[in-house]
């Protein structure tokens, strides 16, 4: 059996989302005085079971789509794989470099130039900007920003900003790619370039995990699908099985509605 790049062993994740009231010190002090009963009252703190008992295994070449409605735990799972959240139970094993393309615009300094921002964003991904001369040059080249690269980012149009961010996000090598949405940016010419780059990146990536709502993306990119329903895995299988299941469910639904109509 080949070595798994990502393997989840019965992963569960739960956490408290404290309300504004529960965040206050006075409340915590009062709570301490009454032995923690206030917290259990509910309303003060929302207890979220984001993932429950999730197991899967991704090997070289696997492309997993995580499907589910909003709040079903897609982002939480991506963050567990990224190493942002620690599972509260179970174990997540990740063997390889992870590149997370979640919230790629975070960390921009609007006053700094494009070039300074390239280095800043690299540092925020854990790379030493002092050792990245080649990378930085390639990023700058790819962004096609020309002389604008030495201008403060606040002078950029939204298209230019998107180009800069895309160039940085796709510049680093990795084994495992976490994708929250399909990345693309800029005007027509750049979109072509970006699409080509994205295919390149995906082609050279060993494992891709993406959270998506789009059946087209699932069909085009993925070979495995995981359906999450309130953090519980509802289905895990191949893309063919997924679409077969979807078709069957649709058929059943049709029959049910048709049956309902007849009985009226």
Partner 1 sequence: MTRSAHPPASAGRGVYGDGAGKLRKAVDDLVSSLKLTEVWAYLGLEDVMSRYRQTLLGPLWNASFIVGQALALSVVFGAVFKAPISQTMPYILSGMLAWFLGPAAILDSSGLFLSVAGTIKTQSLPYLMQLFRVALRNLLIFLHNLVALVVIFPLFGQMPILHWTIVLAIPLLILACLPYMLLVGMLCARFRDVQMLLQNFSPVLFFLTPVFWNPAQAAGGGGGRSMLVVYNPLSYMVDFVRKPLLNQYASTADWVMLGCIFAVGVVLAAAAFVPFRSKIPHWV
Nearer to partner 1, 172 or 235 (CB): 172
Nearer to partner 1, 71 or 237 (CB): 71
Give the contact letters, 161-200, x = binds to partner 1 (CB under 8 A), - = no.
Answer: -----------x-x--------------------------
Map the footprint of partner 1 across residues 121-160, applying CB under 8 A.
Answer: 123-131, 152
Nearer to partner 1, 96 or 215 (CB): 96
Binding of partner 1 at residue 221 (CB under 8 A)? no
Distance CA 48, CA 34 (A): 24
109, 116 contact by CB (below 8 A): yes
Binding of partner 1 at residue 39 (CB under 8 A)? no
Binding of partner 1 at residue 84 (CB under 8 A)? yes
- Determine the distance from the C-alpha atom of residue 220 to the mean position of all C-alpha atoms in its chain, rounded to a whole number: 18
Scanning 9-17, 209-217, 223-231, 239-247 for contacts with partner 1 by CB under 8 A, the matching segment is 9-17
- Provide the minimum distance between the beta carbon of 112 and partner 1 in the complex, in angstroms, as a whole number: 6
Give the contact letters, 88-127, x = binds to partner 1 (CB under 8 A), - = no.
Answer: xxxxxxxxxxxxx-xx--xx-x-xx---x--xx--xxxxx
Nearer to partner 1, 94 or 160 (CB): 94
Binding of partner 1 at residue 81 (CB under 8 A)? yes
Binding of partner 1 at residue 246 (CB under 8 A)? no
- Determine the distance from the C-alpha atom of residue 165 to the mean position of all C-alpha atoms in its chain, rounded to a whole number: 16
Angle (CA) 128-129-131 rounded to 5° is 70
Enumerate binding residues for partner 1 (CB under 8 A). 6, 11, 15-17, 20, 23-26, 28, 79-100, 102-103, 106-107, 109, 111-112, 116, 119-120, 123-131, 152, 172, 174
């Amino acid at each position: 059996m080949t070595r798994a790049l990502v393997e989840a062993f019965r992963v569960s994740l739960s956490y408290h989302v404290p309300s504004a009231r529960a965040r206050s010190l006075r409340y915590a002090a009062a709570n301490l005085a009454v032995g923690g009963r206030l917290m259990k009252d509910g309303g003060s703190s929302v207890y979220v079971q984001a993932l429950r008992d999730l197991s899967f295994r991704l090997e070289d070449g696997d492309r997993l789509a995580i499907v589910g409605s909003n709040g079903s735990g897609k982002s939480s799972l991506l963050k567990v794989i990224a190493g942002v959240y620690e599972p509260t139970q179970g174990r997540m094993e990740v063997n390889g470099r992870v590149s997370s393309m979640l919230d790629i615009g975070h960390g921009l300094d609007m006053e700094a130039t494009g070039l300074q921002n390239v280095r800043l964003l690299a540092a925020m991904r854990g790379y030493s900007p002092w050792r990245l001369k080649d990378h930085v040059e390639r990023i700058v080249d790819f962004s096609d920003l020309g002389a604008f690269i030495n201008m403060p980012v606040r002078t950029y149009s939204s298209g230019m900003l998107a180009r800069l961010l895309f160039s940085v996000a796709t510049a680093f090598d990795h084994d495992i790619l976490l994708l929250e949405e399909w990345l693309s940016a800029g005007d027509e010419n750049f979109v072509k370039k970006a699409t080509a780059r994205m295919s390149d990146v995906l082609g050279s990536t060993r494992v891709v995990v993406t959270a998506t709502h789009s059946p087209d993306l699932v069909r085009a990119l993925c070979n495995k699908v995981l359906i999450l329903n309130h953090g519980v895995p509802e289905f895990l299988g191949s893309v063919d099985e997924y679409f077969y299941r979807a078709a069957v469910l649709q058929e059943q639904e049709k029959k049910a509605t048709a049956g309902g109509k007849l009985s009226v």
